[in-house]
């Protein structure tokens, strides 16, 4: 599946703004009067699930076949449309008994369009409050346009953002691209992702970059992968991208739910795909900064 990690700048910006528009915090005076809550013991780590022993290379072969095999080689473009949840939908309010109560708001849904084209071109567009924010990458250079942050000009990627984008895969996704380029794949035990018992693989590319990938032991489709670390508060935070609700589109197995979690951040970013199109014409100009 095409990686969304390179678009973390636009996703994080939209989520931050949507959260600021909906979040409400208790006053400092109210917080000071709140009674401390009892500390709960940490939950025990679940045991590794039992799956038939299988060499890493065999797991990869099963994965490549399950996701569509040779059909991916004939895919030149992929266009995804849907909505992503954004914003601080949970908040704490002070009750009459001076305790903090966690409440939920309906999550804001932002329409998006994601266009990808071989070898490594991508365009991401999110609509917020009637304005379209855009992030483009043509394989070498990247630009972002974020009007909802009162920025009226196209901004080039920072050196860090450009390095991260160039390290991301093209149309076929991280694992398939890494394997095609001769990456080393090692078995790293088993682990549950949701209700799915998965083979955990460590994939190390020739450039030394390594990530973990979790393959469902029943469907052999990808359940989760490490994303590109996200910089928050001046520190790098681990990112995990989970994929589910796979559907066949022109021979390709495409996840229609993609959920990104950032270590240390309570709320996840959930994308629900409403339509997927393969090999529709997409002009190269879509992936460059407008002039």
Q: Please report the DSSP string for 44-77 in residue order.
A: PPPPPPP-----HHHHHHHHHHHTTGGGGGG--E
Question: Which of these, 289, 290, 280, lies nearest to 116 by C-alpha position?
Answer: 280
Strands annotated E in the chain: 77-86, 90-94, 100-104, 108-117, 121-128, 131-137, 142-145, 155-156, 184-193, 196-204, 210-216, 222-232, 235-249, 252-262, 269-278
Letter string b/e over residues 72-85, b meaning 16 or more CB atoms within 10 A of that residue's CB: beebebbbbebbbb
Please check whether residue 16 lies inside any domain of the structure: yes
Query: Which residues fall within 8 angstroms of residue 239, CB to CB, at 6 or more apart?
Result: 5, 8, 226, 227, 228, 229, 230, 260, 261, 262, 263
- What pLDDT is attached to residue 8? 54
CA distances from 272 to 81, 110, 277 (A): 9, 10, 15
- Total domains in the chain come to 1
User: Greatest CA span in the chain, whole angstroms?
Assistant: 63
Please check whether residue 31 lies inside any domain of the structure: no
- What pLDDT is attached to residue 55? 96
Query: Which residues fall within 8 angstroms of residue 212, CB to CB, at 6 or more apart?
Result: 188, 200, 201, 202, 203, 225, 226
Report residue 263 as tokens: 């270590």
- 70: domain range? 5-22+54-89+102-278
Please check whether residue 38 lies inside any domain of the structure: no
Report residue 60 as tokens: 């990869």
CATH of the domain at 179: 2.50.20.10
Please check whether residue 41 lies inside any domain of the structure: no
Please check whether residue 182 lies inside any domain of the structure: yes
Please check whether residue 252 lies inside any domain of the structure: yes
Number of C-beta neighbours around residue 224 at 10 A:
23
21 class by beta-carbon count within 10 Å (0-12 exposed, 13-18 middle, 19+ buried): middle
Distance CA 150, CA 91 (A): 26
Please check whether residue 131 lies inside any domain of the structure: yes
Report residue 82 as tokens: 């849907």
Q: Report residues of the chain scoring pLDDT below 50.
A: 15-27, 29-31, 37
Please check whether residue 199 lies inside any domain of the structure: yes
HEC string of 224-261?
A: EEEEEEEEECCEEEEEEEEEEEEEEECCEEEEEEEEEE
């Amino acid at each position: 599946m095409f990686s969304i990690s390179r678009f973390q700048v636009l996703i994080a910006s939209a989520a931050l703004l949507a959260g600021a528009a909906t979040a409400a915090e208790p006053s400092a005076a109210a917080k000071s009067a709140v009674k401390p809550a009892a500390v709960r013991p940490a939950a025990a780590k679940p045991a590794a699930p039992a799956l038939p022993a299988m060499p890493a290379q065999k797991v990869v072969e099963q994965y490549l076949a399950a996701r569509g095999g040779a059909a991916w080689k004939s895919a030149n473009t992929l266009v995804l449309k849907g909505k992503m949840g954004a914003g601080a939908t949970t908040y704490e309010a002070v009750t009459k008994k001076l305790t903090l109560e966690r409440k939920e708001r309906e999550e804001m849904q932002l329409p998006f369009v994601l266009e990808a084209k071989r070898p490594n071109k991508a365009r991401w567009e999110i609509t917020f409050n009637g304005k379209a924010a855009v992030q483009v990458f043509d394989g070498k250079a990247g630009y972002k346009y974020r009007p909802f942050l009162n920025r009226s000009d196209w901004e080039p990627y920072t050196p860090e953002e450009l390095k991260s984008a160039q390290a991301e895969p093209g149309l076929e996704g991280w694992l398939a691209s890494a394997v095609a380029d001769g990456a080393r794949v090692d078995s790293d035990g088993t682990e549950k992702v949701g209700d799915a018992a998965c083979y955990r693989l460590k994939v190390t590319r020739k450039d030394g970059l390594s990530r973990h990938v979790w393959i469902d032991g029943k469907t052999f489709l990808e359940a989760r992968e490490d994303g590109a670390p996200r910089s928050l508060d001046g520190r790098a935070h681990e990112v995990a991208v989970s994929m589910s609700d796979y559907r066949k589109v022109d021979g390709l197995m495409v996840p229609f739910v993609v959920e990104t979690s950032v270590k240390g951040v309570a709320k996840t970013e959930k994308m629900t795909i409403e339509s997927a199109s393969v090999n529709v014409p997409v002009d190269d100009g879509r992936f460059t900064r407008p002039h």
